[in-house]
Structure formats: structure tokens, C-alpha cells
């Protein structure tokens, strides 16, 4: 089968659970001898480098060159149909929620819903955020929907009234996180608590800082390491200062899956204060 994945989740993310999900799916499809491709004319995703070169149609560019982002989206939407080598692919797997599909002709259209955060916590997003409306349009044009947990399926059915028969639950798995890749320490010799992925809004990282700060025992014993999601924001840095946490005791680290794997192995515990997740992949990885 000819299976095409679009550019959406790869455009602005270097790494991340969602892009790793699609990467792993494509790797397994290739093992099954299926013809799976990513059409991402312009993207900044590092993980796509792990796929065979002929499986990715597009070019990785510096994040700065993708600004303004709205123009980058338009460029990708226009170029994507031109980069499909075979018309009318068997399956299009849309990787996020566009108001209109970039590829109009296919035999079947699939979409994965990872969570319903925008619908359950609208207070964390701008009033004019188009995500929910675009999600509804993407689901309506899809022939079938994948949910990553029964929790997400339940939310999807109850909030957006999607018929249960249109949905299949396919749980996440993990294979990359087993044993240390290196003896190198990515932190100093003090024990540390590990936070993985997004930190703002419902991800609730600020509460981790406050919890450690109010406990003399935790403050004395543990540092905090945040992996991924970029350098600390101004608000985070202000909070760290206000809580009198030593700069050396709160650290942000970025890197590939090997770095994350070793942090899981070296950490005393994963801290996961998120208010809501469709699945919560770091919990599985840490286990």
C-alpha cells in the first residue's frame, strides 16, 4: 500500500511524543514492506533523520527560517500535493488538524486523536484558538479515527459526539527505553527528579517547583531536571528565583532519545504533574 503522512506535526517540533509516535508507526510499516512516506516540504524535526532518506520528501531547515509560521504552513500546504510521487495514495494519515486537507484524492483517510485537552481545558488557550473547529472538520472527513486510549475515545464520543464505531483504540508502546546508552552523567552527582516534555499551562511544571520548594527535605535532597520543550521561559525563571531555588539545582536539558533514555535511568523518579493527558507516554517510557 501507498501510505502518506502529512507535514503538520513535523513542521515546528524538533522532537516530541507525537512526532515519535508517527516515526515509530512509519518504521513498523516499512518493516511490513509497506510504502510509507512523510510529505514535509519544510520542517525542523530531528527525528525524521532516523527514517530512510527516500521515505521523507522535504527538507529540514532552521526554525528561524520557518518564521513567520503562517507563511510556512501555506508553503507546505501548496507544495505537498506536488511532492506526492503517486497520485491517489491508498491511505492519507493526517498528523494534526487542518481546516482543509492538503491531499484531496485518496482511497482512505485516517487521523489519530491523542487527547482532548483543548476541549476540556479551554481556559488555557486563546478564545479564537481554531484547534477544536479544525479537529471537527478533520474528523468528519476521516474514514476512521485512531485514539491512543479509551480515555481519549470516551472524551471524543462525549464531547464531539463522534460515533464509537468510527474509532479504534490503539495503545502506545515503547521500545527505545531499556538500558543506559552511556555512562556519561547529564547532571551533577546529586539525585534529581525528572520532568519530561511540555511544561506550560496544564502541564503544570510550576507546581513541581513549588512542591519541592516548600519541602525542606526535597529541597535539600533533590535537584530538578526538565527535559525538552526549550529553555526556561521568563515566567519559569522568575518563579525559580522567587522560590529561592538555586540555579544549579534546576536545569533544562535538550537532546535525542538516547539522552532521554539515560536521564530516565539516572533519575530518582519521574515527576508528572500534568492535569490531563490522552495517554501520558513518558510514564510508560519511565516504567
What pLDDT does 86 receive? 65
List, in sequence order, the alpha helices (H) in the chain: 17-31, 69-79, 117-120, 131-141, 150-160, 205-213, 216-221, 234-242, 257-266, 281-286
Q: How far out from the chain centre does Cα 207 lie?
A: 21
What pLDDT does 87 receive? 67
Q: Could you state, in chain order, the average pLDDT of each consecutive group of 10 residues for the chain (287 residues)?
A: 93 82 93 94 90 92 78 88 79 92 85 95 92 96 97 96 97 81 75 94 94 95 94 95 92 90 94 93 91
Distance separating the N- and C-terminal Cα atoms of the chain: 35
What pLDDT does 18 receive? 87
Q: Inter-axis angle of helices 150-160 and 131-141, to 10 degrees?
A: 100
Measured CA to CA, the distance from residue 168 to residue 154 in angstroms comes to 11
pTM, to two decimals: 0.87
What pLDDT does 65 receive? 74
pLDDT digits 0-9 by tens, 173-202: 887 777 777 777 767 778 999 999 999 989
Q: Is 249 helix (H, G, I), strand (E, B) or coil?
A: helix
What pLDDT does 85 receive? 66
Amino acid at each position: 500500500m501507498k501510505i502518506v503522512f502529512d507535514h503538520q506535526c513535523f513542521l515546528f517540533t524538533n522532537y516530541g511524543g507525537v512526532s515519535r509516535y508517527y516515526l515509530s508507526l512509519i518504521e513498523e510499516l516499512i518493516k511490513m514492506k509497506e510504502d510509507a512516506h512523510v510529505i514535509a516540504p519544510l520542517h525542523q524535526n530531528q527525528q525524521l533523520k532516523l527514517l530512510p532518506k527516500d521515505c521523507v520528501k522535504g527538507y529540514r531547515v532552521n526554525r528561524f527560517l520557518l518564521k513567520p509560521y503562517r507563511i510556512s504552513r501555506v508553503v507546505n500546504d501548496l507544495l505537498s500535493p506536488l511532492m506526492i510521487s503517486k497520485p491517489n495514495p491508498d491511505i492519507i494519515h493526517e498528523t494534526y488538524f487542518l481546516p482543509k486537507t492538503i491531499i484531496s484524492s485518496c482511497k482512505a483517510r485516517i487521523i489519530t486523536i491523542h487527547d482532548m485537552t483543548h476541549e476540556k481545558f479551554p481556559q488555557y488557550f486563546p478564545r479564537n484558538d481554531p484547534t477544536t473547529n479544525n479537529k471537527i472538520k478533520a474528523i468528519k472527513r476521516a474514514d476512521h479515527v485512531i485514539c491512543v486510549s479509551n480515555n481519549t475515545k470516551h472524551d471524543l464520543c462525549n464531547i464531539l459526539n463522534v460515533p464509537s464505531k468510527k474509532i479504534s483504540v490503539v495503545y502506545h508502546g515503547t521500545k527505545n527505553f531499556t538500558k543506559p546508552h552511556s555512562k556519561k552523567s547529564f547532571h551533577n552527582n546529586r539525585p534529581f527528579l525528572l520532568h519530561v516534555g511540555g511544561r506550560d499551562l496544564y502541564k503544570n511544571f510550576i507546581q513541581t517547583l513549588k512542591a519541592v520548594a516548600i519541602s525542606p527535605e526535597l529541597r535539600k535532597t533533590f535537584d530538578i531536571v526538565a527535559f525538552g520543550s526549550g529553555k526556561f521561559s521568563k515566567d519559569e525563571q522568575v518563579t525559580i528565583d522567587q522560590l529561592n531555588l538555586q540555579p544549579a539545582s534546576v536545569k533544562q536539558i535538550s537532546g535525542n532519545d538516547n539522552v532521554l533514555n539515560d536521564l530516565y535511568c539516572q533519575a530518582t523518579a519521574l515527576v508528572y504533574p500534568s492535569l490531563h493527558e490522552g495517554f501520558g507516554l513518558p510514564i510508560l517510557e519511565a516504567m
